[in-house]
Structure 1
Amino acid sequence: IQEASHNAHAGHDHGSKSSAEGKFEGLHGHDHGSSEGPWWASKKGRLTILAGASLAVAYGIGYLVPAIETYAYTIAMLVGLVPIARRAIMAALAGTPFSIEMLMTIAAAGALVINATEEAAAVVFLFLVGELLEGVAAGKARDSIKSLTALVPKTAILEEGSETREVPAETLAVGSIIMVRPGDRISADGVIIAGESSIDEAPVTGESVPVRKAVDDTVFAGTVNGDAVLRVRVTAAAADNTIARVVRLVEEAQESKAPTERFIDRFSKYYTPGVVVVAALVAVIPPLFAGGIWSEWVYKGLAVLLIGCPCALVISTPAAIAASLSSGARRGLLLKGGAVLEGLGNLTAIAFDKTGTLTEGKPQVTDVVPFGRESEDVLRFAAALEVGSSHPLALAILSKAKEEGIVPPTGTDAKALGGKGVSAIVDGVEVFFGSPRAAAERVPVPVAHLEKITSLNDEGKTVSVLVIGDVLAGAIAMRDEPRADAVAGLKALTDAGIKTIMLTGDNKRTATAIGAQLGIEVRAELMPEDKQRIVGELKKEGYVVGKIGDGINDAPALAAADVGIAMGGGTDVALETADAAVLHGRVADVALMIDLSKRTMRNIFQNITIALSLKVVFLVTTILGITGLWPAILADTGATVLVTMNALRLLRPIR
């Protein structure tokens, strides 16, 4: 991760062909690498301080010894210009002759020729200040995401048999058992195997309220254990835990350019040579054909050269995208590049998987229906038969019993009756728990009870019936329930004018029941190829389609969609195929992701407008003789800083 971060963000020499240079190819040699550490300790910081000190000394010498002030300002200018000129030459040798450094070098040398040494030295210093500020600002976006790595503790308490010892967190293997004390940060992704506690997930998910978690619940590295000791089985090595994946995906994403960014890059390749031509014409034509004064028009030409620096224009898009990717990642919204970030805002239809996407992905007890015994007895005896089972329906019943504070009695002579249910002797009585049809073979089932069971089935629920001795005791209904925020999340999308549809392989009855509860169009009993086909049909109808899922069966449709989004906790295949991921499984986060895309595109438009407007204003005022070299470089530096600071607004927490 650190190596990827270094390649993606470190300041770079523009004559080389590093991966970082590839990212900022459109900058034509301009050094936009983010600063490492304190700004004054960086190479750019030291150069800027030296250039500023040289300018101050030159000013003092000019005041005290006017006869040599020209030489003093020339030396002060060269202190900053030599490194700039060196980068310009290296960029030219690397195939980028019209770099911003080259424009700066020509302008400063020209100012020297027309004896504007004081302005030349000041312009070089201001240029370096602008570069430094850009580096500092760019570093904020990088630090926003890199700071996540600091959340993971360096050590963990590893259990080995009956003993515990402290080990480096990076050495934890999948399957290891770690102990997490109250108040400790959890050192690895894992599943709780013992204990129950409130987990503060705010550092990773932004969730302000601690989440209560118990056995079989998932916990994330970097979150904080609240009030009880937990034993956790590690499910991901340090390099693959939640935070490491977030950082890695963001680093990779920042290498991927958005269409707008690619357009700006192409535009700048023609724009910069055009600026050189315009500046030359401004400097030459009036003296040659209109009797203008050479020194005056050469000065204006040099100012035009500086105004034309495309720095602010070219940084406008990558700065906004880097900030957005970092901001999204801190919320658990992972986007694999600027193109994905831009595409999300264009979605007009979103197809959701059901299980594990719109629903929790595991059944829950929804109804305990008493027939011949009290509800508490129904749940207590059913739980007694399910103790020790790992079947999802059994786990749902045991979880409900625990929630109700019911302790299941011990059963004996337990039997699994294939295709029918389970039976055991509990409290000296034979108890059966299974399908309604199998229960009807043991005891009569009144029509009223059959109607109730049918009604529950029509709601998409699985119903199991309990028989105690020869008494029809009751029934328990279970269903994979919608996520808590599913209704609100879908409403946010429909309010934004986006069509929503559920594509599921589940039976039509269950899917229709969930769809009615959520208010979403349903297509059920689909194979993976059917989901892919429906996505294609939506695209042919003119929709820009997003597909959201979490399983292997969703992978073809995720790949076929304009934007594929994997829901948190999904399979590796889904995560690899998707363009983006909602890491923490909140349906409402899909709407947040789209909103982030739209805010980013507005920010980019604002940045481009700022950059171009300032250039047009100062171009006109320079030709009219109102402004000169100083305002020209201030316009370029000021626009660059304004653009970068505007982009950094996207780092604010997403609501």
Structure 2
Amino acid sequence: MTEAVATRYRVSGMDCGACAAKVETAVRRLPGVEDVSVSATAGTMVVRHGADAHLLPAMTSQLRSLGYGLAPASREEAPSHAEAHGHDHDHDHTHHHDHDSDTDSRNWWTSTKAQLTIGYGLALALAFVTGWIVPSQHQAAFLVAMAIGLVPIARRAFAAARFGSPFSIEMLMTIAAVGAVAIGATEEAAAVVFLFLIGEWLEGVAAGRARASIQALTALVPKTALRDRNGTTEEIPAADLKVGDAIIVRPGDRIPADGEILAGESDVDEAPVTGESTPLRKGPGASVFAGTINTDAVLRIRVTAAAADNTIARVVQLVEEAQESKAPTERFIDRFSRYYTPGVLVVGALVAIVPPLLFGGSWTEWIYKGLAILLIGCPCALVISTPAAIAAALSAGARRGLLLKGGAVLETIGKITAVAFDKTGTLTEGKPKVTDIVAFGRSEAQVLSMAAALESGSNHPLALAILGRAKEDAVPVPPAADARAVPGRGVTGKVGGEAVFLASARAAGEEVALSAAQADQVASLNGEGKTVSVLIAAGSIVGLIAMRDEPRADADEGIAALRAMGVEPVMLTGDNQRTAEAIAKGLHIDARAELLPEDKLRIVRELQAKGKIVAKVGDGINDAPALAAADVGVAMGGGTDVALETADAAILHGRVMDVARMVTLSRRAMANIHQNIAIAIGLKAIFLVTTIVGITGLWPAILADTGATVLVTMNALRLLRVRL
């Protein structure tokens, strides 16, 4: 028995959940197919099948008869997905009325759906004029006109029935239109078909907007790049860049690939990718993302990822795959709709038959009402109510650097009642900074200058902290002679002819006795969780430099925002108790320190045992057990690769406030879903009652379906503009 493999395809023309259901049912019936997952919002399908199965021709033929186009999807095509939805697939559609790539047409009037709708509208107008000029041909003119719109619908209806979906909207529409003609309501049947086509076209436009919102990210990456080879630059397609290539990026240009700066220093605007509003100063050794903007100086960059693997391409793919993962609410609606549509057929039949048979009602009147109920009962609006909102929310989050891997994660994170944060690299920056400079007999600038002179060229985190502060304060860094590290003690050398020793407090105490006041200051700084280095010059102590891994700039605000939402934050760290408590005190958060990974897992389990829904926020590398055990694991601060590939959710930019923003996004998405369900069911309920009592007829009934579908889709699209 061959091992099963999963293949991803792009399906063009899907507008709603009902479309996805038809595609899934049709493909699932093919020999060799083990499982199918379809996302109308992403326009994708994942098929699990035997490794030796050759399914593409059969699937293409089957879906074409349903009105959809099919093409293999691969990571290599990721940068051009936006175009792939458009004219590139037109050759796949030979059916008279395909669900083509209308959703992404730049001009609404050029799409097949729009042209069919406009053509049908003109045919109706011509039928009306013909009936007015030749009254005896009135019915015949409307029948001919109606056939133009109804025949493509009926062909798709019977194709869907043949492939396992007999209760499609096309079938309900066909039965209602033919039934209306049979009882003499030809003009109204023709109007209903026209309204149905308008609704389908509007659904396509709305679905295209939702799909394009995330695909628009791919447009951020420039099409060309300046490759530098042996001092000569040449312009080449960005898609042709290979890992290791050197590229030149001029001021004002977008960076065409993920990479590492080799030469140059510039402010880089990362807002398009991470949502970070302030440009970041970057120099040699710093990482840059494709699609970000080099603002003020020429940069020479080494490419670290091919086009298909750059940050934006991976974000787009991640969001599309997330849209294929259904939320619990969406799964419930899907199950409900399987029974709902046949139930509507039964109700429509009972309304048409029971009153005339048992109560002497008019057959024509009650058949008319039964046909209207078929149109009212279509589940399109209900089925799309959840995935449309989820797709919009996932896209809105991705554009702000918040990645959630699927509807289930989006739904769960809004329900969390506790967040367990790592400390280093999550609540803090992950690198020490100079917090205090205490001078004895010298100026603070002199103390910093001598210390920086000794540390020049070192990559030790504490050395980088001192050098960074010297640069920040514009302190001169003179050359040091005979500088060398003394293992376990510090750094020694000569600065300006003076013997200088930058040492730990313990090592310094072995060289020169600290006064009581100096010892108290060291103890006080240590009590704040800071590491203290002592500077000795010419045989006496001239200064103290204290360093600590400081909280992120927005950590206090982010913790307060979570608390205001009713979410309890707690810090879990392997660091020592003193340092943990010092950081926790400033952030007004409870701290559990000196923990091993298994301890963090245990604490997450304890919180869950108390009935709390727990999110674990960490760097995505350490604490894997706790991240896996939490209801939602959020990766932050572990680098782009880790952030994209691990945990349930990821924060591209290291902001603590983004955890609260994720919760806000989730809660707004769920509120939007509840609104959509209320719109879908409420409109149907109203029109059901008004139809039975005789107030409304066939054409308002179709508005209850297509109108509700457009309304819920447009309501979901509001999430794309949500402010977090």
TM-score by length of 1: 0.94
Q: Give the aligned partner of residue 494 of structure 2.
A: 425
Which structure 1 residue ranges, 5 or more long, are not aligned?
A: none
Question: Alpha-carbon deviation of 1:642?
Answer: 1.1
Separation in structure 1 between the aligned mates of residue 618 and residue 572 of structure 2, nearest angstrom: 9
AA of the residue aligned to 2:39? K
Which structure 2 residue ranges, 5 or more long, are not aligned?
A: 1-6, 29-34, 44-62, 69-98
Q: Is the 8 A contact 1:157 1:180 kept in 2?
A: yes
Which secondary structure does the structure 2 equivalent of 1:251 belong to? helix
Which secondary structure does the structure 2 equivalent of 1:17 belong to? helix
C-alpha distance after superposition, 1:537-557 (max 9, x if no partner)? 111110000011114212221
Q: Give the aligned partner of residue 17 of structure 1.
A: 27
AA of the residue aligned to 1:23? S
**Is residue 350 of structure 2 the alignment partner of residue 281 of structure 1?**
yes
Question: Alpha-carbon deviation of 1:249?
Answer: 1.0
Q: Give the aligned partner of residue 35 of structure 1.
A: 103
Change (3 A) 1:575 1:200: closer
**Is residue 21 of structure 2 the alignment partner of residue 6 of structure 1?**
no
Change (3 A) 1:263 1:484: same
AA of the residue aligned to 2:10? H
Question: Alpha-carbon deviation of 1:94?
Answer: 2.1
Q: Which moved more, 1:492-501 or 1:401-410?
A: 401-410
Q: Is the 8 A contact 2:13 2:204 kept in 1?
A: no
Alignment of 1:314-325 (within 5 A): 314-325=383-394
Q: Give the aligned partner of residue 258 of structure 2.
A: 189
Separation in structure 1 between the aligned mates of residue 102 and residue 618 of structure 2, nearest angstrom: 36
Q: RMSD across aligned C-alpha pairs, in angstroms?
A: 2.4
C-alpha distance after superposition, 1:323-342 (max 9, x if no partner)? 11111111111111111111
Question: Alpha-carbon deviation of 1:283?
Answer: 0.5
Q: Is the 8 A contact 1:246 1:332 kept in 2?
A: no
AA of the residue aligned to 2:201? L
Change (3 A) 1:249 1:34: farther
**Is residue 301 of structure 2 the alignment partner of residue 297 of structure 1?**
no
Q: Give the aligned partner of residue 422 of structure 2.
A: 353
TM-score by length of 2: 0.86
Give the alignment partner of residue 617 of structure 1, picking from 686, 707, 711: 686
**Is residue 231 of structure 2 the alignment partner of residue 231 of structure 1?**
no
Separation in structure 2 between the aligned mates of residue 456 and residue 181 of structure 1, nearest angstrom: 46
Separation in structure 1 between the aligned mates of residue 558 and residue 712 of structure 2, nearest angstrom: 33
Separation in structure 2 between the aligned mates of residue 8 and residue 354 of structure 1, nearest angstrom: 46
Q: Is the 8 A contact 1:380 1:408 kept in 2?
A: yes
Separation in structure 2 between the aligned mates of residue 158 and residue 412 of structure 1, nearest angstrom: 41
**Is residue 127 of structure 2 the alignment partner of residue 58 of structure 1?**
yes
C-alpha distance after superposition, 1:570-602 (max 9, x if no partner)? 474564331111111111111111111111111
Alignment of 1:424-463 (within 5 A): 424-463=493-532
Separation in structure 2 between the aligned mates of residue 204 and residue 329 of structure 1, nearest angstrom: 8
AA of the residue aligned to 2:27? K
Q: Give the aligned partner of residue 215 of structure 2.
A: 146
Question: Alpha-carbon deviation of 1:371?
Answer: 2.2
C-alpha distance after superposition, 1:272-317 (max 9, x if no partner)? 0110001001111111111111111111110111111111111111
Alignment of 1:450-529 (within 5 A): 450-529=519-598
Q: Which moved more, 1:51-60 or 1:622-631?
A: 51-60
Question: Alpha-carbon deviation of 1:384?
Answer: 1.0
Which secondary structure does the structure 2 equivalent of 1:552 belong to? coil
Q: Which moved more, 1:236-245 or 1:8-17?
A: 8-17
Separation in structure 1 between the aligned mates of residue 493 and residue 601 of structure 2, nearest angstrom: 46
Separation in structure 2 between the aligned mates of residue 504 and residue 231 of structure 1, nearest angstrom: 39
Question: Alpha-carbon deviation of 1:514?
Answer: 0.7
Change (3 A) 1:204 1:5: farther
Separation in structure 1 between the aligned mates of residue 507 and residue 492 of structure 2, nearest angstrom: 11
Question: Alpha-carbon deviation of 1:639?
Answer: 1.2
AA of the residue aligned to 2:540? V
Question: Alpha-carbon deviation of 1:113?
Answer: 1.1
Change (3 A) 1:627 1:242: same
Change (3 A) 1:328 1:111: same
**Is residue 166 of structure 2 the alignment partner of residue 108 of structure 1?**
no
Percent of residue pairs identical: 65
Separation in structure 1 between the aligned mates of residue 189 and residue 363 of structure 2, nearest angstrom: 18
Change (3 A) 1:339 1:9: farther
Change (3 A) 1:424 1:34: farther
AA of the residue aligned to 1:6? R
Alignment of 1:23-422 (within 5 A): 23=39, 35-37=103-105, 38-422=107-491
C-alpha distance after superposition, 1:111-141 (max 9, x if no partner)? 1211211111111111111111111111111
Which secondary structure does the structure 2 equivalent of 1:382 belong to? helix
Question: Alpha-carbon deviation of 1:409?
Answer: 1.2
Separation in structure 1 between the aligned mates of residue 584 and residue 11 of structure 2, nearest angstrom: 46
Question: Alpha-carbon deviation of 1:93?
Answer: 2.0
Separation in structure 1 between the aligned mates of residue 37 and residue 375 of structure 2, nearest angstrom: 23
Which secondary structure does the structure 1 equivalent of 2:485 belong to? strand
Change (3 A) 1:652 1:531: same
Which secondary structure does the structure 2 equivalent of 1:346 belong to? coil
Separation in structure 2 between the aligned mates of residue 262 and residue 519 of structure 1, nearest angstrom: 40
Separation in structure 1 between the aligned mates of residue 124 and residue 36 of structure 2, nearest angstrom: 32
Question: Alpha-carbon deviation of 1:417?
Answer: 1.0
AA of the residue aligned to 1:36? D
Change (3 A) 1:568 1:221: farther
Question: Alpha-carbon deviation of 1:9?
Answer: 7.5
Q: Which moved more, 1:297-306 or 1:231-240?
A: 231-240
Separation in structure 1 between the aligned mates of residue 116 and residue 596 of structure 2, nearest angstrom: 63
Q: Is the 8 A contact 1:546 1:565 kept in 2?
A: yes
Change (3 A) 1:266 1:150: same
Which secondary structure does the structure 2 equivalent of 1:148 belong to? helix
Change (3 A) 1:8 1:70: closer
Change (3 A) 1:393 1:262: same
Which secondary structure does the structure 1 equivalent of 2:38 belong to? helix
Q: Which moved more, 1:253-262 or 1:425-434?
A: 425-434
AA of the residue aligned to 2:178? A
Q: Is the 8 A contact 2:196 2:702 kept in 1?
A: yes
Q: Is the 8 A contact 2:330 2:386 kept in 1?
A: yes
Separation in structure 2 between the aligned mates of residue 9 and residue 340 of structure 1, nearest angstrom: 27
Q: Is the 8 A contact 1:315 1:644 kept in 2?
A: yes
Question: Alpha-carbon deviation of 1:493?
Answer: 0.2
Q: Give the aligned partner of residue 576 of structure 1.
A: 645
Which secondary structure does the structure 2 equivalent of 1:505 belong to? coil
Q: Which moved more, 1:406-415 or 1:14-23?
A: 14-23
Which secondary structure does the structure 1 equivalent of 2:324 belong to? coil
AA of the residue aligned to 1:652? R
Q: Give the aligned partner of residue 75 of structure 2.
A: none
